[in-house]
Structure 1
Amino acid sequence: MQPPHCCLLHLLLLSGTWADLEGTFTLWLLQTSIFENTYFVNTERLGLLEDIEIASLNKYTQTFHFLQPWVQPALRRSDWHTYEEMVKVYSVQFSHTINEAAMQNRVSYSFIIQCRAGCELFPNRTSRAFIHVGYNGQDLVSLNIENCSWQLGQDTNVSRYVKSLLQSYTAFTELVDVIFSETCVDVQEVFLHYGKKALERQEQPEATVFACMPSSAQLLLVCRVTGFYPHPISVAWLWDGQEVLPGLALNTSSILPNANLTYQLRSIPAVVPGDGHSYICRVCHRSLGSRSLLIQWGNSEVVLVVGLEAGLLAAVAMAAIPALWLWTFRKHQQMQESESRSSILSKET
């Protein structure tokens, strides 16, 4: 079966409409298959444009479930139907190949096979296809698109057998090559047009700095940055105005996803308590333009706050002394006047 190509007229009409999008874009196809035995395979498949989930495949009906409102209208109904038929053919061939490799190498069930495939589209409209297959979390084989040959991910009996098996399926290998080298690029160009607004979404980061002290000799400053999109971001610490270089004293986490399709990370330098230096967390992100977030932490600020509180207490105390003296004087004067009036009334009586 030959892979379908998007309508040529459709592509010509859309040509250049996504050219103002900056950067390289990737259309991902992810598959996880749990082989319980030779008869039952539990497979989940997901398609993404960059980090946006666009469609999944119903494992029972082998039909697409669209996860964004702009995905289904991007292609004709006949194209989607053809892709579904291709997936069915691929699924049968894929399960047969893996089961045969497992039986020939006496691999015990159950095990997991993961596939990561897709195409990158560069600003100059060149592209790169990729296909990687993993076994129980380890690299198994990958397809070299340039010469249409399979390569070992690791040198094991299973990987060598899978490589030779796939290499013998010439028609299947050529079909996979065409799908990801040509069809994937055509489809991605259409998706970049229809999903342009979603890809251009920007959310500004929110940053806070706080401290924790694991020991009396070490203070950890934590710069927590969250709620930003897209995920590329720069977070750095300035020590008395000089950038702190990555090392043992600076630990920055990887970028982690939030539930609302934004991201977060933490950058934590270790400092000496009471060293008298100033520390600033600097955050740069596309949504901020040429500006940066600067969140300061420094012992000088702590001392200033403590000094202000102590000064305020002293000022209150100093103001209270004359007020208390005046209140005592007036109270004494009132008592004297009261006694004087009582004495006069007594004499008159």
Structure 2
Amino acid sequence: MGSRILNIQRRTAEHGRLRTGYTQGNRPVRSATWVITSHSEEHVRTAAELWGGEPEEWKPLNSTIAQWRVITKAASIEALITPGDPLNQYNEMWSASGCQRRCDGETELLTRQPCLCAARFGEDWHTQPKGRVCSTTSRLNVMLPDLSGMGMWRAETHSFYAASEWGGMVDMVLAGTDGRGFVPVTLRIEPRQVVREGKTKKFPVVVVELRGVTPRQALAGPMSAATALDPTGSRAVAAIEAPRLDYLALAEAALSSDDVRDVWRQAASAGHVHPKGEDDLSRQLMAIAARKDVEETTDAAGEGSWDTEAGRQDPEPDEDGVYPVEIVEDGAPAAEWPAVAAPGSGARS
């Protein structure tokens, strides 16, 4: 294993942001669906293919650097919580000149003073108008497994109510995994409302939910990357499923009616024909087998003896006097060729 610089924190590149709002001109707008933003046009176009919406160039407020964004049609997206602690939470106040306050709920970290908002407005400080107090800011780093690249995407919310839910969810996951391994989750935008002083306020809250695994599985320890990527196993089944064969072409290329029977059995094993031959493909294969049977009978006339009961010509010995035999493998019995279509049924002349 290679060496590392020990005093440099290892981190994964950030590919973009997952937002619950966007700007129209200089006006902020809440969104009921996810807004994906990135410097990468490719990432945003792929997100649009997955979750709908129209990709467009976009500049964040107070920025001269263009990015790309798509206002998707999806209120839920699949993600992975990655190893380590993916959650970062502070009470923050920002202005055009940057971050003015960053507080952990007890201490304002830039000035090392006690929490200014709580000191002025009490424990319900978060009900004050925006701009007067800090915003509860939660940043959750996740991986989007269906987008290219191994980087992180940052989901950010300024919801006071989402903060406690995110913290509780992540803490439970970390208690089970010890910060090791991936955990499949769904990020879902859920509409909420509260009534304060007789007024109803509606707002979106981002909910983080386990996806495809039970709490027992999530809390039992780190799960494998394969399980986290596909907790239901549906993609694995689809990935290993063989493409459907052209059974008619195989039957036409067969040398004998017995070979056609083997093609039918192959189709039956794959579940592509009715086990009793009650489907169009079986009937077509039966017709080909019957035709092959007639061809075999015609070709074999006068060449060796014909076993009318078994419906086949006796094989001829090779130059060493050895008769060819068929080796049958042990295992599950082969599907039975439908009796109504067995080639050679009945007497021959």
The interval holding the TM-score normalised by the smaller chain is under 0.3
TM-score under structure 1 normalisation? 0.19
When you count helix as a share of all residues, which structure comes out higher? 1
Bigger share in strand: 1
